[in-house]
Amino acid sequence: MKTYFVYKTVNKLTNQFYVGVHGGTLEDGYLGSGRLLKRAIGKYGIENFYVESRILCSDADEAYDLEAFIITEDIINHPLCYNLIIGGRGGEHLNQRKPYKKRQGVKKTKEQKMAMAEIKRNMTQETKSKISQSAKVVCRVALTCPSCGFEGFAPNIRRYHFNNCVL
């Protein structure tokens, strides 16, 4: 018999969580189907996730109602939450989807940006030319095919000559 329950999946490494509804058995190993949760499982590995709690429900409607009660706007805006939309039958609430939570580093302050701009303004012409030259350098080593003597650059010469050379 199919059992419906609300579950909470937790990332052991980051303590991020996902709350969802599942219809199946308690021991089937289901962790969730959220987009961010799937990406996190791919990144951290399935062994770093566990289901922390399960609330059994009598039917699917009760489970989705409970999920809707738990997953509110405040929960999905929590920085540790993998859920993207408010709870209850996923697809019906797509108009309330929030933007993708991209995990980024620390943003630079206005003072840091101004300091970086000041450093760039005070660069000498010699420093600017060195930066320009280092960006232009391409490591190109000419190779000669031992079979036919053709001279060229990698990777094309390796593709058509050496072991593949036809005289």
pLDDT for res 11: 93
Regions of the chain where pLDDT drops below 70: 1, 89-105, 137-140, 166-167
pLDDT for res 16: 92
pLDDT for res 161: 82
- Report the predicted TM-score, pTM, of the whole model to 2 decimal places: 0.54
pLDDT for res 94: 45
pLDDT for res 96: 47
Please say whether the beta carbons of 34 and 91 come within 8 A: no
What structural domains does the chain harbor?
3-96 (3.40.1440), 136-167 (no CATH)
Tokens 């012409």, located at residue:
125
The string of pLDDT tens digits covering residues 25-43 is 878 888 888 888 999 998 8
Going through 12-140 in order, the beta strands assigned E by DSSP cover 17-24, 49-57
